[in-house]
């Protein structure tokens, strides 16, 4: 039980090994840095620009942390398997997966191409399945090491408020995140007896490249803030802090949960004055 463990509250992930997908920018980058600051060695996954991952690795090492860059397109089974083999060889094992890689390819419904649909489902949903499966195989191979963590492994799925909020113009993206919700919960149910915890973080609007057009002009930001009761856009670190907690034994009895980190976006803000 976590309560009986004595671990450093400032370094709750000491001696743990993590892999973060899509970690060369945005939320993934912040998660990689926060996990490293909490004591974990981190494999920083990237898909196309090695130099961006190298920069994150260099930042982590400059802060005294341990990190490596690992390549894979998460929607490609062979590349995912090769990436997990590389990370487990470098670190010895893996304790934490942050299933973060994701993208948007927006279109009006009648204009959405099959390619746009399949690319988004492939990365956002199939990619989370492929990475989680490899992580679970390693967690089961190694089992619980009580001195490291009371769990055999922890998976944190990056979902979205759009796992519950329908999103016109983005049906591929909203469908992928609705799928992530059931992927996460079904895995959590199946794997809890094996001491593997699976949870999601559902960000609202976070200041990252994926939604730049929603915040980089005063007009867009004003429109966005109407959807956020907390009246501020989120920062990647808001998400990263939650991920560290879910990855640590501080949340040992939490599995199958989605934590909405959204400044209240899922609270039907239109009803604050209407209805």
Residues 80-119, mask of contacts with ligand BGC (x by CB under 6 A): ------------------------x---------------
Residue 269 beta carbon to ligand BGC: minimum distance, rounded to whole angstroms: 12
Q: Tell how far CA 165 is from the center of its chain.
A: 19
SS (H, E, C) the chain: CHHHCCCCCCCCCCCCEEEECCCCCHHHHHHHHHHHHCCCEEEEEECCCHHHHHHHHHHHHHCCCCEEEEECCCCCHHHHHHHHHHHHHHHCCCCEEEECCCCCCCCCHHHCCHHHHHHHHHHHHHHHHHHHHHHHHHHHHHCCCCCCCCCCEEEEEECCHHHCCCCCCCHHHHHHHHHHHHHHHHHHHHHHHHCEEEEEEEECCECCHHHHHHCCCHHHHHHHHCCCCCCCCECHHHHHHHHHHHHCHHHCCCCCCEEEECCCCCCCHHHHCCC
Q: Is 12 a binder of ligand BGC (CB under 6 A)? A: no
Residue 43: strand pairing partners: 19, 68
Q: Is 164 a binder of ligand BGC (CB under 6 A)? A: no
Closer CB to ligand BGC, 209 or 275, in the complex: 209
By CB under 6 A, which span of 4-12, 120-128, 139-147, 204-212 interacts with ligand BGC? 204-212
Residue 161 beta carbon to ligand BGC: minimum distance, rounded to whole angstroms: 5
Q: Is 225 a binder of ligand BGC (CB under 6 A)? A: no
Catalytic-residue membership of 173: yes
Catalytic residue among 46, 173, 253, 268: 173
Select the residue interacting with ligand BGC from 107, 140, 192, 210 (CB under 6 A): 210
Closer CB to ligand BGC, 16 or 104, in the complex: 104
Q: Is 160 a binder of ligand BGC (CB under 6 A)? A: yes
Contacts for 49 with CB less than 8 Å, ≥ 6 apart: 24
Q: Which of residues 250-269 bind ligand BGC (CB under 6 A)?
A: none
Residue 205 beta carbon to ligand BGC: minimum distance, rounded to whole angstroms: 4
Residue 13 beta carbon to ligand BGC: minimum distance, rounded to whole angstroms: 25
Closer CB to ligand BGC, 17 or 162, in the complex: 162
Does residue 35 contact residue 62 with C-beta atoms inside 8 Å? no
Q: Is 161 a binder of ligand BGC (CB under 6 A)? A: yes
Closer CB to ligand BGC, 81 or 211, in the complex: 211
Select the residue interacting with ligand BGC from 17, 33, 162, 197 (CB under 6 A): 162
Q: Is 211 a binder of ligand BGC (CB under 6 A)? A: yes
Beta strand 258-261 with 96-99 is unpaired
**Residues that are catalytic:** 173
Residues at the interface with ligand BGC (CB under 6 A):
104, 160-162, 204-205, 210-211, 214
């Amino acid at each position: 039980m976590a309560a009986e463990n004595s671990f450093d509250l400032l370094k709750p992930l000491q001696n743990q090994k993590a892999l973060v997908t899509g970690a060369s920018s945005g939320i993934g980058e912040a998660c990689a840095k926060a996990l490293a600051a909490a004591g974990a060695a981190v494999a920083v996954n990237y898909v196309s620009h090695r130099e961006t991952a190298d920069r994150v690795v260099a930042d982590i090492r400059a802060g005294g942390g341990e990190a490596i860059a690992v390549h894979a397109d998460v929607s490609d089974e062979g590349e995912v398997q090769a990436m997990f083999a590389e990370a487990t060889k470098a670190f010895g094992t893996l304790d934490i997966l942050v299933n973060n890689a994701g993208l948007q390819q927006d279109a009006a419904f009648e204009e959405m191409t099959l390619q746009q649909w399949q690319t988004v489902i492939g990365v956002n949903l199939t990619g989370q399945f492929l990475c989680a499966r490899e992580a679970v195989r390693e967690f089961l191979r190694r089992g619980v090491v009580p001195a490291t963590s009371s769990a055999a492994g922890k998976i944190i799925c990056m979902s979205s408020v759009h796992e519950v909020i329908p999103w016109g113009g983005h049906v591929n993206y909203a469908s992928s995140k609705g799928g992530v919700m059931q992927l996460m919960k079904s895995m959590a149910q199946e794997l809890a007896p094996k001491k593997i915890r699976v949870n999601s973080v559902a960000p609202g609007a976070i200041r990252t490249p994926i939604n730049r057009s929603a915040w980089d002009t005063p007009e867009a930001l004003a429109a966005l803030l109407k959807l956020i009761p907390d009246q501020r856009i989120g920062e990647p670190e808001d998400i990263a802090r939650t991920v560290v907690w879910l990855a640590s034994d501080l949340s040992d009895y939490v599995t199958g949960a989605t934590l909405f980190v959204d400044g209240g976006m899922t609270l039907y803000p239109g009803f604050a004055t209407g209805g």
